[in-house]
């Protein structure tokens, strides 16, 4: 099956992929080769164009007679609209179209805006991140701290670290799955689905635990190469400098669902929806070169930030997180975190009309809002 998009007066094709899901809603490398109701058509919102003034030219293209006009609207700015034309063809080729992201080797995702690598064997999660072709790794590791009533503090190192399973390496996104189990208690497991795009990594972590815990922390710890960067969230809109020295101005409350790091090589904006986890969520931040209890990875922490959950935490939940990777702006920039938080919680609205007819709302994960 070949599905193509033509835009701006039907003048050219743009990258697209079709990702299949099984009956349970999980991404699969292949299923039946048929576009089912839960399969996903994926392309970049940044690639869409203006509405075609004349669609008669489609009659001269080697395509199936059935085609769709797709309208994309930004609910944050409703006047921002874009159109694309979805067609089917057995002869048109994807050759020459852009490839926005790649999985060149095991445990590595690469795009123009970033190079990201999974931890080699010590723990699940990430352990390497460079921005915008700089070659400077600013990530120590992604972290987990769980207080168990009998086993004490359980860290990310207690989880097995299998090689991520590649589900799809497409032109628009790479999809990976990593399943990890708690080697200490044998009572908890996670499955994390990574969807990596040109300037966005979406992470959905499915947590399943048969034990009750009332203190969990998830965070992203940078390394000393991040020293000099600026950290922002909703409580510190003017930012603080990451330098390995404690800063008491970063308050855990009120909860900020976004954070931003502005580094000379680029900007990282992280947005998380903490609601499904239950309990009480507060912000976590530590910038201190002295050793932390159960310190792993590089000695000390540099702008280690994330969320702390306490109280009645659910046994089963899915935590949704998005990491936007943007170019640097004159080395550093003021914060734009609230804007990207709005993008995260107000996804693009999509509708499609058969041959330009009445537009019906559909779900297409059309990615991504402009950076």
Mean pLDDT of 134-141: 97
Q: Which range, 6-20, 26-40, 45-59, has the best average confidence (pLDDT)?
A: 26-40
pLDDT tens digits for range 235-246: 999 999 999 999
Mean pLDDT of 148-162: 80
* Statement: residue 351 has pLDDT above 80: yes
Residue carrying the six token digits 């769709």 = 68
**Is the backbone peptide bond immediately before 104 cis, with ω within 30 degrees of 0?**
no
CA 66/CA 51 separation, integer angstroms: 18
pLDDT at 185: 63
| 72 DSSP β-pair partners | 82, 350
Would the pTM of this model clear 0.85, i.e. be above it?
Answer: yes
Residue carrying the six token digits 């939940």 = 317
- Helix residue ranges per DSSP H, the chain: 337-345
CA max distance for the chain:
71
CA 91/CA 349 separation, integer angstroms: 31
- pLDDT band per the 50, 70, 90 thresholds, residue 371: very low
Provide the residue ranges of all domains of the chain, joining segments of one domain with +.
3-98+346-361, 101-335
Cα 166 to chain centroid, rounded: 16
The percent helix, strand, coil of the chain (3-state, each to 5) is 5, 50, 45
- pLDDT band per the 50, 70, 90 thresholds, residue 16: confident
pLDDT at 279: 96
pLDDT at 33: 76
CATH topology of domain 101-335: Beta-galactosidase; Chain A, domain 5 (2.70.98)
Higher pLDDT, 165 or 332: 165
* Residue 234 exposed, middle or buried by CB count within 10 Å (0-12, 13-18, 19+): middle
pLDDT at 9: 47
Q: What is the dihedral of CA 235, 286, 162, 138, to 10 degrees?
A: 90
pLDDT tens digits for range 87-119: 877 777 776 678 999 999 889 999 999 999 999
Percent with pLDDT over 70 in the chain: 88
Of 4-13, 59-68, 324-333, the poorest mean pLDDT is in: 4-13
* Statement: residue 353 has pLDDT above 80: yes
pLDDT tens digits for range 259-299: 999 999 999 999 999 999 999 999 999 999 988 766 566 67
Q: Cite the beta strand spans of 210-367 per DSSP E.
A: 215-222, 230-233, 240-241, 258-263, 266-273, 278-288, 301-313, 316-326, 349-354, 360-361
Phi, psi of 303 (to 5 degrees): 60, 35
């Amino acid at each position: 099956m070949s599905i193509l998009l033509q835009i701006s007066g039907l003048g050219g094709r743009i990258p697209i992929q079709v990702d299949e899901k099984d009956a349970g809603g999980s991404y699969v490398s292949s299923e039946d080769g048929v576009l089912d109701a839960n399969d996903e058509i994926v392309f970049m919102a940044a690639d869409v164009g203006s509405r075609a003034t004349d669609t008669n030219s489609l009659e001269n293209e080697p395509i199936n007679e059935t085609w769709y006009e797709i309208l994309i609207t930004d609910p944050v700015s409703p006047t921002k609209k874009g159109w694309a034309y979805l067609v089917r063809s057995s002869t048109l080729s994807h050759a020459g179209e852009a490839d926005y992201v790649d999985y060149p080797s095991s445990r590595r995702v690469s795009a123009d805006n970033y190079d990201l690598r999974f931890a080699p064997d010590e723990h699940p999660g990430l352990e390497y991140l460079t921005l915008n072709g700089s070659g400077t790794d600013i990530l120590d590791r992604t972290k987990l701290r769980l207080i168990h009533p009998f086993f004490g503090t359980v860290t990310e190192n207690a989880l097995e670290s299998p090689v991520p399973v590649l589900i799809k390496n497409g032109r628009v996104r790479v999809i990976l799955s990593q399943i990890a189990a708690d080697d200490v208690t044998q009572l908890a497991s996670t499955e994390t689905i990574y969807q990596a795009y040109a300037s966005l990594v979406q992470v959905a972590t499915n947590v399943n635990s048969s034990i009750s815990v009332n203190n969990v922390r998830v965070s992203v710890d940078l390394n000393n190469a991040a020293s000099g960067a600026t950290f922002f969230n909703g409580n510190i809109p003017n930012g603080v400098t990451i330098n390995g020295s404690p800063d008491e101005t970063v308050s855990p409350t009120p909860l900020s669902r976004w954070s931003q790091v502005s580094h000379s090589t680029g900007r990282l904006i992280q947005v998380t929806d903490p609601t499904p986890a239950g309990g009480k969520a507060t912000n976590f931040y530590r910038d201190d070169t002295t050793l932390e209890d159960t310190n792993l990875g590089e000695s000390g922490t540099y702008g280690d930030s994330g969320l702390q959950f306490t109280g009645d935490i659910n046994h089963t939940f899915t935590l949704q997180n998005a990491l936007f990777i943007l170019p640097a702006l004159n080395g550093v920039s003021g914060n734009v975190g609230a804007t990207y938080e709005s993008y995260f919680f107000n996804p693009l609205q999509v509708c499609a009309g058969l041959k330009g007819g009445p537009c019906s709302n559909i779900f297409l994960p059309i990615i991504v809002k402009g950076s």
